[in-house]
Structure 1
Amino acid sequence: MLGSHTTGAGGAVSLSVLTAGVFVIGTAEYVVVGLLPQLSDDLDVSVPTAGMLVTWYALTVTVGGPLVTVATLRLPRRLLLPLAALVFALGNLVAATADTYRLLVVARTVTALTHSTFFAVALVTAVALVPAGRRGLAVAVVSSGFNLATVLGAPAGTWLGAGHGWRATFWAIAILGVAVAIVLPFAVRGAAASPSGLRGEVRALLDARVATLLLITVFTQAGLFTLYTYIAPLLTEVSGFDARAIASLLLLFGAGALVGNLLGGSLADHSPWNSLLLLTGALAATSAAFLVTATSRPAVTVALVLLGTAAFALVPVLQTRVAALAAAAPTLAVATNTSGFNLGIAAGSWLGARQLDAGSSLISLSVTASTLVLVGFALAVLLVYRLRARPAETTTGPSGGRRPSPPRRSRRPSLP
């Protein structure tokens, strides 16, 4: 239940620590993109095979995330969050010492098992700290950990890997994971387990509107990561950048993502459904832009920044809509939506690998990416149309049951 909230310095500190945890998890996920050439050479596998590390990680989050969330619903958040951080750190420790590709896949699988649950519980905890009218901002703040991972974590990890080897990157992430686990119990004091139980969580998840949002998440992320997984080779082989420039370019992508996330948080609080349409359309356009900008260094740099802005502005809008429609029992719905993000990542990176293995050019990934995002846009149009044409007759009550909606006051209904 998204209920009482706290304010003041304590709430700000809690949000900051939650954001730091998301930052470390996001860095572990995104940094592999910048390390693909090194991983390919050191482990003696092709770049598409190395890129499958992204796919396997995302698939584990997709399948394992909701299962781990269900299994831990009754654990107090004060215990669950640091426990997840410790398992995450262990997975990165194994990755740092892996001497074969298969062992690295196993290590990444262990790491991925904590991803969805940690993020979902962090978001649910965050929205309980603020008034209802600022929940979009709270989601944006915690989600900005992922943006900071792209603007700071992934470039720093890429730089560290370039100078000291990719293992050093995973060692650093493991140490940061332990640090977060130590601090978390003090930052989330009093955070209880989910009050709704498994039945209420599943009921909220099965709402058709929530299911449509999950599909939108999957298609938009599949489009994004069809392109983004292979952005490093595209920038070097097509755009002509030196390999040493990749970290700086990823930094620019991350800067655009950070701005986009904060913009998306504001839009999520003020005009969420219109923002959903606007941002899915913008992501389709920026994905398609690489088809004409990839051969120009200045143009592709601008396209990269805009891609980050559009992609990450969409994140808080999607997450807050899921949390709003499953307000009485949001933990499993948010965790499943996080899995939706990673199912999209897995599908996108897999499709990109298959295209490249089939002999397609790197630049052709832009076409596939924009097509997939357009499917998400069409679903968003359909969802918003149905919500405005026929408002929901019931909404979810505090106990996970159903209660009547307030009487309609205007010809155009207010959307959740």
Structure 2
Amino acid sequence: MDAPAPSPSRANLVLATLFLGMFVIGGTELLAVGVLDLIAADLRVSIPAAGLLVTVYALGLAVGGPVLTAATIRLDKRTVLAGALALFIVSNLVAVLTGSYGLLLVARILTGAFQGLFIAAAFAAGTAVVPPARAGRAMAVVVSGVAVSGAVGVPLGTLVGQALGWRGAFAAATGLAAAALVATLAVVPSVPGAGAGARGQVRSAVAPRVLAVLALTGLIFASVYAALTYIVPFLQTVTGVSGGLISVFLLAYGAATAAGSFGGGRFADADAARALVVGTAGVAGCLLALYLVGAVPVLVALALLAVGGFAMGMAPSMQYRVVSLAGPGGAFAQSLPASAANVGIALGSFAGGAAVGAFNTSAAVIAGLVIAVIAIPVAWATSFLTPPAVEVAAAPPPIREPALCQA
């Protein structure tokens, strides 16, 4: 017998709880960036070696997330969310307590994998408590947790790290994860797992139409991060900004990504395919503007705001398109956009670095622009892709008749 439908306020509370979980784990992913020097000094390794803690985390998310999602595909999503957070807490505690660089690397890989698992289950649980017409907005609330963590959580975590040490910062993140676990158990309802086994799910989720949108996702993130990875030296050498003003520019970008991810849900619900075409063209235009007005601080700030808004404004549409195009493989496909995004970030950072090494700091923006221009026809081509005939199976199984939710 189905459980009673959640009230609108209860559905919103569920989404807020999922947002909290995404905020905590998203902040933990990037927390190491702000305390790399402290980690390197404490463990007596080089800065590049400490930087591997960020790289292996992304690898764990990109590979381990889908693997764990496939392994838990039939489990109730509330159970998966709670389990992922519990394991996330344990692996973070290992990171806090260990004095071994090698063990810390392993802990970061596992933490990334558990984040990937949580992300997929969070999207499934979030879309299960809203009507199909609001699925994009539910996805936007969930993904906004990561965007807000980048804009607010990471700077705050860096301040804590400077005051209490990097272990103190990670301990604080672990405490927040424990709070998110308690909230998940108290608020998130039971959401049945997928009826089909992992093999059938994977087969549908890796169909060419899905891979095409995943490739587009990778290109979009590669274009942004080719420029963003080297935005600080760009601001210093081209724009002439230094010191605390750099933080203002970065905070503006972070605020734009948060706003974009929240607002992008409505575009996903209206026409996700068109949103990706417009958004990709918007990123290309903004990167071109960033290059052309690089010497004018005010215009650079506006360009960064626009890049952040366009890029993360597409995130709900990326998720929406991948899940809908996967058809009966939608439950497993929930984990794939995050993996594609992380691959794109890695490739974009590499491309930007190669451009800077060969030319100058402005070349990183050009590298991002070139990738964005390549992505435009890809976005246009994917807009013609349609879900398989069995569209109904694409969405995670509803737990009940959905209630209206002001997501």
Which TM class, normalised by the smaller chain length? 0.7 to 0.9
Q: CA deviation at 1:362?
A: 2.9
- In the other structure, the counterpart of 2:18 is 18
Aligned partner of 2:272 in structure 1 is 272
Which residue number in structure 2 is paired with residue 395 of structure 1?
389
Aligned pairs, number: 391
Alignment partners' CA distance in 1, 2:361 and 2:345: 17
CA displacement at 1:329 relative to structure 2: 3.2
Change (3 A) 1:92 1:123: same
Alpha carbons of structure 1 residues 162 and 373: separation in structure 2 relative to 1, 3 Å = farther
What does 1:162-311 align with in structure 2 at a 5 Å threshold?
162-236=162-236, 238-311=238-311
Change (3 A) 1:71 1:243: farther
How far apart, CA to CA, are the structure 2 residues paired with 1:242 and 1:46?
A: 25
Q: Is the 8 A contact 1:156 1:247 kept in 2?
A: no
After TM superposition, give the deviation of residue 236 of structure 1 in Å.
Answer: 4.4
Q: Give % identity.
A: 33
Give the superposition deviation at 1:375.
2.4
Distance 1:359 1:99 in 2: 38
CA, structure 1 residues 97+289, in 2 after alignment: closer, same or farther (shift >3 Å)? farther
8 Å CA contact retained: 2:128, 2:191: no
Is the contact between residue 273 and residue 382 of structure 2 (CA under 8 Å) also seen in structure 1? no
Once the two structures are TM-superposed, the CA of residue 52 in structure 1 deviates from its matched residue by 4.2
Q: Secondary structure at the match of 2:130?
A: coil
The 1:348–1:67 alpha-carbon spacing in structure 2 relative to 1, beyond 3 Å, is same
Matched ranges for 1:3-152 at <5 A: 6-36=6-36, 50-97=50-97, 99=99, 102-152=102-152
Tell me, yes or no, if the aligned pair for 2:327 and 2:393 is still in contact at 8 Å: no
Using the alignment, how far apart are the partners of 2:278 and 2:366 within structure 1? 20
User: Aligned-pair distance for 1:246?
Assistant: 4.5
Q: Distance in 1 between matches of 2:103 and 2:241?
A: 32
Cα separation, 2, equivalents of 1:335 and 1:262: 20
Mark the CA change 1:18 to 1:399 in structure 2 (over 3 Å): closer, same or farther. Answer: closer
Structure 2 residue runs of 5 or longer lacking an equivalent are: 395-407
| Structure 1: 5+ residue stretches without partners | 401-416
* Length-normalised TM-score, structure 1: 0.84
For 1:383, the aligned partner's letter is T
Does the 8 Å contact 1:48/1:353 carry over to 2?
no
Counterpart Cα distance in 1 of 2:100 and 2:54: 16
1:268 is aligned with what amino acid? Answer: A
Distance of 2:106 and 2:230 partners within structure 1 = 22
Match of 1:411 in 2: none
Q: Against the structure 1 CA distance between its residues 284 and 278, is the aligned structure 2 distance closer, same or farther, given a 3 Å change threshold?
A: same
Structure 2 equivalent of residue 370 of structure 1: 369
User: AA paired with 2:302?
Assistant: V
2: CA distance between counterparts of 1:8 and 1:320? 22
Q: Say which SS state the counterpart of residue 328 (structure 2) adopts.
A: coil
Change (3 A) 1:89 1:303: farther
Structure 1 residue 212: deviation in Å? 0.6
What displacement does 1:22 show?
0.6
| Superposed displacement of residue 116, structure 1 | 1.6
Q: CA deviation at 1:339?
A: 0.9
Cα distance in structure 2, aligned partners of 1:102 and 1:299: 44
State the alpha-carbon separation in 1 of the partners of residues 319 and 381 from structure 2.
18
Deviation at 1:313, TM superposition (A): 0.3
Cα distance in structure 2, aligned partners of 1:331 and 1:281:
30
How far apart are residue 15 of structure 1 and its match?
0.8
Q: Distance between the aligned counterparts of 1:92 and 1:298, measured in 2?
A: 40
Q: Deviations over 1:14-67 (max 9, x none)?
A: 111011001111112233444456556666666665544433222221111111
1:93, 1:174 within 8 Å by CA — same for their partners in 2?
Answer: yes
Which AA in structure 1 matches 2:375?
Answer: G
Summarize the Cα distance change of 1:332–1:303 in structure 2 as closer, same or farther, 3 Å threshold.
same
What CA RMSD, in Å, does the superposition of the two structures yield over aligned residues? 2.7
Partner of 1:381: 380
Post-superposition offset of 1:251: 2.4
Q: CA deviation at 1:340?
A: 0.8
Please say which of residues 333-342 and 33-42 is displaced more in the overlay.
Answer: 33-42
